[in-house]
Amino acid sequence: MADKKIRQRVESLREQINAHNYAYYVLDNPEVTDSEYDRLLRELTELEQQYPELVTPDSPTQRVGAKPLSEFAEVQHEVPMLSLGNAFSEEDMIDFDRRVREVAGQKIIDYAAEPKLDGLAISLLYQDGVLVRAATRGDGHSGEDVTLNVRTIQAIPLKLRGRGYPPVLEVRGEVVMPKSGFEKLNQQQKEKGEKTFVNPRNAASGSLRQLDPRVTATRPLSFYSYGIGLIEGFAMPDTHSKMMQQLKEWGLRINPQSRVVQGVKGCMEYYQQLAKIRNDLPDEIDGIVYKVDNIALQEKLGFVSRAPRWAIAYKFPAQEEMTRLLAIDIQVGRTGALTPVARLEPVFVGGVTVSNATLHNQDEIDRLDVRIGDTVIVRRAGDVIPQIVSVVKSRRKGKPRRYHIPDKCPVCGSAAVRYDDEAVTYCTGGLYCEAQRKEAIKHFASRRAMNIDGLGDKLVEQLVDEGLVNHVDDLYKLTVGQLMQLERMGKKSAQNLVDALQQSKNTTLARFIFALGIHNVGETTAQTLASHFLTLDNLIKATEEELVAVPDIGPVVAQNVVTFFRQPHNREVIQQLIDAGIHWPAIKARKRDELPLAGKTFVVTGTLSSMGRNEAKAALQELGAKVSSSVSKKTDYVVVGENPGSKASKAEELGIEILEEAAFLELLKKYS
């Protein structure tokens, strides 16, 4: 049997936990860390396990029931849960206000304003301060008993705070799923291979209508109160806003954006303010609700059909609309990525007319199972690119075929491939494809590739825009006369560029391979390929099997290399480059383990004045060294430039030989 001390401790733990919940959810001002909160909850759980007679239904440990239901029971609402009339324009708001003023006989009306949350309406019944029943709105007269699920929502108190609450209190409000929780949930669903939700409202609704409360308990649901239904034994305050403050004191969360505004002017200003921050709010909202603040005036206004005459929902432009998918086009990006774009029957959504939406990649098309001719739901929120969120399958006519991204680039005709570990399909005609032209030339000219001095990004743009260069080989056909026609290009600069181009022809095979811009072939991989295959011809002829047999070359790179050289257009450009006079010193065939630095591990740290760190790494690798990113007992040498940081001190600690820049250059000279 639990003694008095234990009972008091249990009571105190419950009070502390409830107070922390209140600070966190209602006041939005957490008082303790998560770990402190968990510690209190754990202590309470342990005491209740030890003394089961102390467990009460409203204990914070009792949120999740153990058994799934077979169905939800029906609940009759004693006070019907009505809907709200809508306003879609300023005129509608002016009309609403005029009707209110006529009944009130007043010039300016105070309105309680708050965001209209996009969730699902719920009724919570508290008897003597204890949550005894929660029900959905249903048809307004009867809904479903979702008490066990609602008990799992942490923002909903199982017991009201303080003492002054009425014996019967029915609170109404909205259950929502915050946007961040929705994104996380969908990510988890995807990872588990389960169905994703199209928007936070559907996710909230699906989660609340689970028969197993243990599932609901894992869903990030939240709640805000917006009014009351039944109330007994309590003298109502004179305004709605005071009543809401009262709910807050009893421990119920209210929307922190709620305000009282004056007249239509105040309503319009509030609307504009909220419209501006709409996308930054934690929860989805679809408009603003205005309620006559004065309760006596509310009573005087009464109801029309199924809606109060004292309240209205001023809707924001819808962020989701239905339209038809007319076609799917492929856009080729600057890096060669093929992106499917949905061409839509124009539709007004999120405040603009939308006729295109991104479909991202093949996985997204498959996930949506979207087909040409389908009726789809498009969503445009804020400045984000419009998305297709779902297909209205019931409206599909006939049996349209599934869509597949083409296996040829629509811009240049080269093969379009999707590598094993990527979602994106890429064009492999990097050197030739018009869509990738500017990026390919910028990369080719860059310092670590062909190192064409003076050919910066702006000049590349100019040369392509003026039609002087289409492919990289055209660079070597440029004349001083042609260059001088460009804006801000004098004779001297033109001559310097032609000289720099001439100089760049003398390169290394590794730099040349890197300059080609093959997908996933960086400097180090280019160096590995050059050292292994020795000549460009050998590399061009290499099969995937031969490539994967090279140390450090994986199947993805092997596939990229083979596909790149298989494109006739790429080979033509390469031939033109060789014909223009690009050359490199022959590489002597040396077995890897015969290379002078074979078996030695280097780490390069700090800034070298004579070359970049990648260049230094490539030079070492060419000599057979292994280059690692961290210093360990296995490291043989640490090359140290300016501002080396912790790697140099670690090397000293471990007694590893340190090479300053001069000594490093000496070493390269000795073995090259």
Q: d(Cα 601, Cα 656) in Å, to the nearest integer?
A: 11
Give residue 164's Cα distance to chain centre.
45
Nearer to ligand I6G, 114 or 320 (CB): 114
State the residue for tokens 């996009």: 118
Q: Is 477 among the residues known to form the active site?
A: no
Query: How far is residue 271's CA from residue 83's CA, in Å, rounded to a whole number?
Result: 20
**CA 220 remoteness from chain centre:** 17
261 binds ligand I6G (CB under 6 A): no
Q: How far is the CB of 95 from ligand I6G (least distance, A)?
A: 19
**In whole angstroms, how close is the CB of 185 to ligand I6G at the nearest point?**
23
Size of the site for ligand I6G (CB under 6 A): 10
Q: In whole angstroms, give the CA distance from residue 446 to residue 430.
A: 16
| Residue 236 binding ligand I6G, by CB under 6 A | no
**Least CB distance from residue 255 to ligand I6G, whole Å?**
8
If the CB atoms of residues 140 and 400 are measured against ligand I6G, the closer one turns out to be: 140
According to the binding rule CB under 6 A, does residue 201 interact with ligand I6G?
Answer: no
Q: Is 290 a residue that touches ligand I6G (CB under 6 A)?
A: no
Residue 177 binding ligand I6G, by CB under 6 A = no
Closest distance between ligand I6G and the C-beta of residue 266, in Å? Answer: 17
Instruction: Copy the structure tokens of residue 357.
Output: 């939406």
Task: Indicate whether 113 belongs to the interface with ligand I6G (CB under 6 A).
Answer: no
> What six digits make up the tokens of 217?
């308990």
How far is 559 from 562, CA to CA, in rounded Å?
5
- Does residue 111 contact residue 293 with C-beta atoms inside 8 Å? yes
Using CB under 6 A, pick the residue from 84, 542, 623, 638 that binds ligand I6G. Answer: 84
Q: Which is nearer to ligand I6G, 258 or 361 (CB)?
A: 258
| Residue numbers 502-561 binding ligand I6G by CB under 6 A | none
Q: Which of residues 455-494 bind ligand I6G (CB under 6 A)?
A: none
**566-569, long-range: CB within 8 Å, 24+ apart, which pairs?**
566/415, 566/428, 567/414, 567/415, 567/428, 567/429, 567/432, 569/412, 569/413, 569/414, 569/429, 569/431, 569/432, 569/433
List 48, 97, 110, 114, residue binding ligand I6G (CB under 6 A): 114
Residue showing the smallest CB distance to ligand I6G in the complex? 226
Cβ of residue 227: shortest distance to ligand I6G, in angstroms? 5
**Structural tokens at position 72:** 């939800």
Q: Considering only 65-73, 114-122, 272-280, 541-549, which stretch makes contact with ligand I6G by CB under 6 A?
A: 114-122
> Any contact of residue 118 with ligand I6G (CB under 6 A)?
no
Tell me the Cα Rg of the chain. 35
Q: Please, which residue, 277 or 327, has the CB nearer to ligand I6G?
A: 277
Q: Does 289 interact with ligand I6G (rule: CB under 6 A)?
A: yes
Asked if residue 121 binds ligand I6G (CB under 6 A), the reply is yes
Measure the CA–CA gap between 294 and 111, rounded to whole angstroms: 8
Query: What gap in Å lies between CA 25 and CA 14, rounded to an integer?
Result: 16
Determine which one of 4, 5, 116, 491 is catalytic.
116
Closest CB 311 distance from ligand I6G, rounded Å: 5
Contact, 561 vs 540, CB < 8 A?
A: no
Is residue 227 within the footprint of ligand I6G (CB under 6 A)? yes
Window of 113-121, 336-344, 367-375, 598-606 that interacts with ligand I6G by CB under 6 A: 113-121
Helix (H, G, I), strand (E, B) or coil at 284: coil
Nearest-angstrom CA–CA distance, 318 and 350? 5
Positions marked catalytic = 116
Residues at the contact surface with ligand I6G, assessed by CB under 6 A: 82, 84, 114, 116, 121, 226-227, 289, 308, 311
